[in-house]
Amino acid sequence: MSDSVEFVEDAGSRERSLELIKHKLSLLPDKPGCYLMKNHQGTIIYVGKAKVLKNRVRSYFTGSHSAKTQKLVSEIRDFEYIITSSNVEALILECNLIKQHHPRYNVLLKDDKTFPYIKITHEAQPRLEVTRRVYKDKGKYFGPYPNAFAAQQTKKLLDRLYPLRKCKTMPDKVCLYYHMGQCLAPCALDVSAETNERMVQEITRFLNGGHEAIKEDLTVKMLAASEELNFERAKELRDHILSIDALMEKQKITTSDALDRDVFGYAVDKGWMAVHIQYMRKGKLIERHVSLFPYYGDEYNDFITYVTQVYSDNPALPKEIFLPQMPAAADAPASEPAQPVDAETVVPRGEATEEREIREALEDWLKVKVHIPQRGLKKQMVDMAKDNARNALEEKFLLLERDQSRTSKAVENLGEWLGLGKVHRIEAFDNSNIQGTNPVSAMVVFVDGRPDKKEYRKFKVKTVVGPDDYETMREVIRRRYERVLKENLTMPDLIVVDGGKGQISAAVDVLENELGLYIPVCGLVKDDKHKTAQLMMGDPAEIVPLKRDSQEFYLLQRIQDEVHRFAITFHRETRAKSMVVSQLDAIPGIGEKRRKALLKHFGSVRKMKEAEVADFKPLGIGEKLAGEILKALQGEAAPHE
């Protein structure tokens, strides 16, 4: 059996670590900066920022905390800190450290969608394109758009209105776009910079909300074409006007000031945070997006960390950002008097000092106006974003409760179908080999219908030669439950094997006749499309008539898919290692000790292939043997110095 090896912390090491923390806490400075919390393996598990490092870091080790924060604190065995000259530097540094180290307890912007933008490229002959990447390349970016379809439809309209270059690479002759009137063909004809600039300005005006003026221009041209009896041109212009109307009608107008702004709201519950963003462009709400994730630190600080990650690599910023108030500030009365400030500094009434510092730090970094509204329409917009975030959290927990109740019911019903009563723990097995090579097996565990990954186990088959699935099942079942008996581990209520009568019979024979165990065994039979088709049980095994669309059958499918995935992954890892070993073992003069040294030195066979003869010298390998190694790995004569 192959279990993953993990460094285990002993009690003495833990006491020494806590004593070190106590000493370092007394040396913390009264300055702004960032702190990096580490676990017993030296891995950075949390990064935070602080206006006063001494106060913030000490707070983790004093007083009471929520269950989530307590879990973080329980793993801290050391910390580092970096002093910054200002809160702005701390904000930027925190964002960069999170992106560098990906700490497990930080809010990580890793699965959020990227929105499409329309881009006018910065070239002598510019062109329009839809992209999800925004670079500082002097191109003009417009968006984001609600989805790729909306962006493509807008680009399609602009392509018909303004015949910029279409091809990424200049062709040798004019293409179909030229004949359709959608390109001026700079590949073959002379298109002046003034012509391109005029079209770029028109496109910019359109995308910046000037579509009404462009509609008026098109209307004038349409009427002129009609008067000249050029009805085909008039119809074309009319179609352009209708396309603009259809495109702009889909956008909901929410404000009258036509500004680009992002409105944030967040909500927290049960250790989870939901952040809702309303993307408004030219006064129109074009997209709403919500992210849900667990958080472990202070809720507002973790929220601001999320905001900084949203904008850290995005130069296409809005004109304004609206943020919600801090929880303490939100609870304070709106009539609370503001603190005295300089005449040139305008502080919104009721804004807390820490709020103001966060707002100013973001403004200094992003060069964008940041508002934390206290009242009026702007606060209503933030409240709407907060309500949407709260609804997203409530929906998540309702779905979880529904899924849990469905899973519990499925487990209960499965037990009734099999005549077992309550099925608490299920252990499932799957064998994996390709043409009999590197046979392995895997076991997954489901407790109350949910996977318990820390209980998963891998097996390298030791006694079976060739692709014998029945004997492999015997060996693995024997090894697993001999260990269960020897170490007094938890017995399963049901064993699930991948296969039918033969696999079930092999497992039952080992359990009952060799180990004296009477654990129910069922088998999952696949159809010709390798999908779970039938459940079998008994001796001799018979089909259990479970409906294919039942929750019980769906649970069994999930179990079979999971154990198959786990077994295949382990087999691929084993086969890859075996191929490396066999490649090196085939070289005369390479034994086990030297093979391990080579892999440790180069890191992989690929890097070894790319090495030079001289790179083998630190391992005590001469030119001749180094040449033989390279020749064997590269499949051709290796160069000699």
CATH code, 319: 3.30.420.10
Residue 491 phi, psi (nearest 5): -80, 140
Domain ranges, residue 541: 423-550
Does 414 map to a domain?
no
pLDDT in tens, 68-110: 778 888 889 999 999 988 888 888 888 888 888 888 888 776 5
Which are the contacts of 36, defined by CB distance < 8 A and separation ≥ 6?
Answer: 44, 46, 47, 79, 80, 81, 82, 97, 101, 103
* Same domain assignment for residues 391 and 272: yes
- Please state, in angstroms and as integers, the Cα–Cα distance from residue 122 to each residue in 127, 140, 191, 279, following that order: 8, 7, 16, 26
The pLDDT tens digits for 225-264 are: 888 787 877 887 787 777 666 655 544 435 556 688 899 9
In SS3 terms, 536-564 reads as EEECCEEEECCCCCCHHHHHHHHHHHHHH
Q: What is the mean pLDDT of residues 300-326?
A: 85
Cα→Cα distances 476→1, 275, 460, 575, Å: 9, 47, 9, 19
Mean pLDDT of 366-378: 89
Indicate if 55 and 141 belong to the same structural domain.
no
Residues 600 and 507 in one domain: no
Q: Are 38 and 79 in contact (CB under 8 A)?
A: yes
CA distances from 596 to 577, 603, 616 (A): 12, 10, 13
Q: Is residue 619 part of a domain?
A: yes
Q: In the listed set 225, 249, 273, which residue is the last one of a domain according to the structure?
A: 249
pLDDT at 480 over 90: yes
- The CA-based dihedral angle spanning residues 450, 456, 462, 465, taken in that order and rounded to the nearest 10 degrees: 30
Domain count, the chain: 5
Asked which of 84-93, 184-193, 324-333 is least confident by mean pLDDT, the reply is 324-333
Place of tokens 């391990």: 596
Name the phi and psi angles at 447, rounded to 5: -115, 120
Mean pLDDT of the chain: 79
Q: What is the pLDDT of residue 410?
A: 85
Strands 494-498 and 521-526: parallel
Q: Which of 81-90, 293-302, 472-481 has the highest mean pLDDT?
A: 472-481
State whether 537 and 439 are in the same domain.
yes
Examine residue 558 and state whether it is found in any structural domain, yes or no: no
| Total-model pTM | 0.50
247-256, 418-427, 459-468, 612-621: range with lowest mean pLDDT: 247-256
Q: Look at residue 339 and tell me if it is in a domain.
A: no
Residue 54, phi-psi category: left (phi > 0), alpha (psi -120 to 50), beta (remainder): alpha
pLDDT confidence band for 344 (50 / 70 / 90):
very low
Q: For residue 48, is it within any domain?
A: yes
The confidence score (pLDDT) of residue 584 equals 67
> pLDDT value at position 475?
92
CA distances from 54 to 28, 60, 65, 82, 584 (A): 5, 11, 18, 12, 55
Whether 573 is in a domain gets the answer: no
Q: Are residues 265 and 395 in the same domain?
A: yes
Q: Are residues 15 and 129 in the same domain?
A: no
Q: Are 103 and 132 in the same domain?
A: no
Q: What is the CATH number of the domain that holds 22?
A: 3.40.1440.10
Shared domain check, 625 and 596: yes
Residues shown for the chain:
641
Assigned domain for 334 exists: no
Query: Taking the CB of residue 343, how many other CB atoms lie within 10 A of it?
Result: 5
Model confidence at 4, in pLDDT bands (50, 70, 90)? very low
582 located within any domain = no
Asked if the peptide bond before residue 540 counts as cis, ω within 30 degrees of 0, the response is yes
